[in-house]
Amino acid sequence: MNPEPPWRFIFLTLPNYSLIAVSSAVEALRMANRVTKQNVYAWTIASLDGSAQTASNGLAMSPSEAIDGRATADIVFVCGGVDVERAVTTELSVTLRQLAQRGIALGSLCTGGYALAKAGLLDKYKAVIHWENMSALREQFPRVVFSEQLFAIDRDRYTCSGGIAPLDLMLNIIKDQLGQSIASMISEQFILDRIRNDQDRQHVPLQARVGLFHENLIEAAALMEANIEEPLSLDDIAALVGVSRRQIERLFKRYVGEVPTKYYLDMRLRRARTLLLQTAMSVMDIAVACGFQSPPHFSKCYRQLFGHTPSAERQLSRRNTPLDPGAVGG
């Protein structure tokens, strides 16, 4: 970035972008100007043709300016939402590559990371995208190091999840540029308990259901989520958490309402369904990626949970509106 303010950010909005993600980012910059009583940040809402894009909630932000590869900014954020794959055009990819070639830092909010990955601009970078899109895009873009963090800053790439996570990203950028005291003042204005950093995860299994105080249960579920392709045994999970197998079973039974092996199996099957609907991977490859060594066993378990075999599920989805990468989330 430029060493001195004002720092200029461009928010490149795609059709059906997430309004809460963009407004959270912009509000942090606005409040920074207010608490410092200086115009340290400037921002522009933009689109490829200059028209105000409609967000996923039907609203639009204006005024909006046109952007091309000659734009000048400290960071250009690509702002995505639902159906992001349909919003990523050849023109968009060319524009982003031109900006990168000129040394413009690039970022993304919510599913906007898909546009950067599609343009080849996240290869060998740590990157973040909305968690609902993570598993499909990991398969589609193996050269991208996708992380489950709220946001990631890797050299000249600033990628972020959706919801209000962009507020945390901006507060961390502001902290680095203007100091902790200014970031804290902004946090207080927005009545935030704390400023989350890049070590916070955007999605922790079970946390919303059981709260923060059942650490052993949350850790066990996190181990399951991190070991989908090669599932751990329940004894291994218990050993890694540091409790007995029986205690893990009691925790799941009491707070989740099912045994841990069923929870783990259903987690793997839900991951399989995401890959089935959002990628072109074969059923066999999906079975292996989700820890099933026997395709017939995979098919049987899948039908018991979802009511269809994997092949029938894919055929049904093709007859209806297909679910593309980015069609959920935002």
How is residue 9 written in tokens? 């950010």
Q: For residue 88, is it within any domain?
A: yes
CB-based burial, 108-130: b 16+ in 10 Å, e otherwise: bbbbbbbbbbbbebbeebbbbbb
Show the domain range for 276. Answer: 207-319
CB atoms within 10 A of CB 193: 6
Q: Are residues 184 and 225 in the same domain?
A: no
Q: Are residues 51 and 87 in the same domain?
A: yes
The CA–CA distances, whole Å, from 245 to 4, 49, 61, 84, 263 equal: 57, 59, 53, 43, 15
Q: For residue 108, is it within any domain?
A: yes
Q: Are residues 38 and 110 in the same domain?
A: yes
Q: Are residues 155 and 67 in the same domain?
A: yes
On whether the pTM is more than 0.75, the answer is no
Q: Are residues 93 and 18 in the same domain?
A: yes
Which residue, chain included where needed, has tokens 């999970």? 237
Q: Are residues 31 and 123 in the same domain?
A: yes
Partners of 173 in beta bridges: none
Q: What is the pLDDT along the chain (330 residues), one digit of tens a residue?
A: 656 779 999 999 999 999 999 999 999 999 999 999 999 999 999 999 999 999 999 999 988 999 999 999 999 999 999 999 999 999 999 999 999 999 999 999 999 999 999 999 999 999 999 888 887 888 899 999 998 889 999 999 999 999 999 999 999 999 999 999 999 999 999 998 788 888 787 765 666 566 656 889 989 998 999 999 999 999 999 999 999 999 999 999 988 889 999 999 999 999 999 898 888 899 999 999 999 999 999 999 999 999 999 999 888 777 654 333 333 344
Q: What are phi and psi of 47, to 5 degrees?
A: -150, 170
